[in-house]
Structure 1
Amino acid sequence: MNKVVLVTGANSGIGLALCERLLTAEPALRLCLACRSLHRGQAAQSALLARHPDAHVALLQLDTSSITSVLTAAHDIKRRYNRLDCIYLNAGIMPNPAFDVKAFFKGLFSSKVITMFATGAGILTQKDNITPDGLQEVFATNLFGHFLLIRELEPFLCQADRVSQIIWTSSSNAHRSAFSLNDVQHQNGIQPYSSSKYASDLLSLALNTHFNKQGLFSSVVCPGFVMTNLTYGILPSFPAFFWTLFMPVLWLIRMFTNTFTLTPHNGAQALFWLFKQKPESLDPHAKYHSLTSGLGNNYTQPCKMDIDEEMSEALYEKLLSLEDTIRKKLKVEKRIGDGVCSQ
């Protein structure tokens, strides 16, 4: 039977490049594009079908920052499909990033210049927002919405007759120092993106601990430094010609660091590579990096993550507790709504 694959954040960048690679390798794949914007999702769907006219490419509206959207999307998935082989949890945001120009130029003349370019360490901070559900927006979009989606789809993912796979798009910006178990939503810090990505690393390990025996396996990917809308958004005031002039510098830097994948196609390398592996053979403590040599050759390399079972389990329990609180709140709101409607 043809595999069913769901990709969140599939309408552009790494997500769209991944979809293209998947369809090229397995034309019979049943692919579902889960996108926040239906308009952009339709454009991505049309582009993929133009190149793969016989492909099965469906579209699903999913905003991982919205609890209602996640629950509705999960219900829709269960209605459409009778199986789910792989979920790529790729959707993510870095809202209102602030660029420290002084730190940038200081870093240019330091021994940490490559690390600075590759991870944004020391030069980026983000200002978070609050969702209508009362959650921190980055936490909800990058982590909790995906967690809730997995919880809703557990019966589809945990099957005795087959193996299922979850693949997270993490980041080299996932730092232990940005994350705190006492503040999992990162309400009190200035690195919500880093915190959410480190939390996804932890959560992946916890999912393996709880669900490997049920046939569900989770892996984490770092796409490297890729020029996407998220990257361009870091310097929104810079004119287009700046990037035209700056790109040769980035290509030059790639001669010295293989983390500069630069293109979405290259950034999707590890995501695509994992799809072709046996999930049960993968290392749950490793982050699989998309890498590109100075000559443009793509390859995947695992690196041990700075995580441990105790912290991953503690995060998992906190997310379960938050889920329980959210579901109770929704039940109360529904009862109130039903009472108003009946009057």
Structure 2
Amino acid sequence: MRGVQQPLLTGFGAATSAAEVARGVDLTGRVALVTGGSSGLGLETARALGMSGAIVHVTAPDPLDARAALNGIDGIAVWPLDLADQASVKAFARAFLERQPRLDILVLNAGIMAQPLFRDKRGREGHFSINYLGHYELTALLWPALLAAGKSRVVILSSRGHQISDVDLEDIDFARRPYDKWMAYGQSKTANTLFAVSLDRRGRGYGVRAFSVHPGMIVTPGIRHLSRPEFDAFGALEPDGTPLIDPAADKKTPQQGAATTVWCATSPALSSLGGVYCENCDIASVQTDNPFGVRPYAIDPERAESLWQMSAALTGLDIVIT
């Protein structure tokens, strides 16, 4: 994995916007699905893909709120989806496949960050359930549509937060260790990075490639619950409470944050690559102590396979390659 985890020197950078990445990209007739696509990074991703001609679908827990947020953006279909509810995931996948038998771009964008302990109906810890496990289930169920596209891409939102914690495969749900909201968040983002590794291994022989993404530090509605001292610890806000924008320091607008997602979903430079962690519209380097880059444990193929096998056991869903 380290061999392909090398920057390509794309010419884009931290300040590049999703619209700049999408400029000149023709996605006419392609079908895209963005989870959490009605706010923040997801909305900007959906907007950029739609501007390039894609048929865009977005999911949200509350479709009415989502349609209001997407008002003014033409041609985007909105679907209800609760990633923490296995029945909701299955119902959505069934309905989507009836309407769209092919899927060219799947962006697993929805997520939560550093919330107090809660569990889904199955007892799974909330960050693991929403950020990772629900997306694992969704991808497994939509696999026939990804195959039907011939060449498709799955882009999975990770984060520099993966550097907080590896995945504890022995206590994934904090049943025995003390709960820490940042550890839970970091573990879920490491899981998403590992997910890209194992998914790409299964899909590359069939034209399905997977990528994980660090979008940058973006103040979106999804993290407004953090306290002012927590924001101040990150240096994320101006004195008046507005987001501090400094792309070189990883503090980005939502439009800049969505750029790497759109790049992974569309760039010809990645046509023969996959399973890599990307940031600033490029493949990231492997780092052990630098704040940039990806940690070795997050792209380790053996850990990725162990997580996959555990996920298959937890959900009863798998992607079997022959």
TM-score band, normalised by the shorter chain?
A: 0.7 to 0.9
Name which of 55, 59, 62 aligns with 2:78. Answer: 59
Measure the CA separation in 1 of the matches of 2:172 and 2:208. 25
- 1:250 matched to 2:244: yes
Name which of 68, 78, 86 aligns with 2:87. Answer: 68
Q: CA offset at residue 45 of structure 1?
A: 3.2
SS in 2 for 1:88: strand
Name which of 251, 256, 263 aligns with 1:260. Answer: 251
Q: CA offset at residue 301 of structure 1?
A: 5.0
Name which of 164, 170, 176 aligns with 2:152. Answer: 164
The one-character-per-residue Cα deviations of 1:188-232 (angstroms, maximum 9, x if unpaired) are: 341111100001111110111122112211101101111111332
1:184 partner letter:
I
- 1:324 matched to 2:306: no
Measure the CA separation in 1 of the matches of 2:277 and 2:227. 28
SS in 2 for 1:233: coil
Distance 1:172 1:264, change over 3 A: same
Paired residue for 2:19? none
1:194 partner letter:
G
SS in 2 for 1:179: coil
Paired residue for 1:105? none
Name which of 133, 136, 140 aligns with 1:144. Answer: 133
Any stretches of 5+ residues in structure 2 without a counterpart? Answer: 1-27, 287-293, 318-322
Is the contact between residue 238 and residue 244 of structure 2 (CA under 8 Å) also seen in structure 1? no
Measure the CA separation in 2 of the matches of 1:277 and 1:211. 18
Paired residue for 1:131? 120
Q: How does 1:83-94 map to 2 (within 5 A)?
A: 83-94=102-113
The normalised TM-score by structure 1 is: 0.73
Distance 1:219 1:85, change over 3 A: same
Q: CA offset at residue 150 of structure 1?
A: 0.8
Name which of 284, 288, 306 aligns with 2:278. Answer: 288
SS in 2 for 1:234: coil
SS in 2 for 1:47: coil
Identity among equivalent pairs (%): 25
SS in 2 for 1:225: coil
Distance 1:249 1:87, change over 3 A: closer
Is the radius of gyration larger for structure 1 or structure 2?
Answer: 1
The normalised TM-score by structure 2 is: 0.77
Name which of 265, 268, 271 aligns with 1:275. Answer: 265
Paired residue for 2:24? none
Paired residue for 1:198? 190
1:216 partner letter:
V
Q: How does 1:21-32 map to 2 (within 5 A)?
A: 21-24=48-51, 26=52, 28-32=53-57
Is the contact between residue 170 and residue 221 of structure 1 (CA under 8 Å) also seen in structure 2? yes
Q: Which runs of 4+ in 1 moved over 4 A?
A: 236-239, 246-249
Q: CA offset at residue 245 of structure 1?
A: 2.1
Any stretches of 5+ residues in structure 1 without a counterpart? Answer: 50-55, 97-126, 291-298, 326-343
Distance 1:248 1:88, change over 3 A: closer
Measure the CA separation in 2 of the matches of 1:204 and 1:72. 24
Is the contact between residue 33 and residue 45 of structure 1 (CA under 8 Å) also seen in structure 2? no
Q: CA offset at residue 182 of structure 1?
A: 1.0
Q: CA offset at residue 247 of structure 1?
A: 5.9
Higher relative contact order structure (alpha carbons within 8 Å, sequence separation ≥ 6): 2
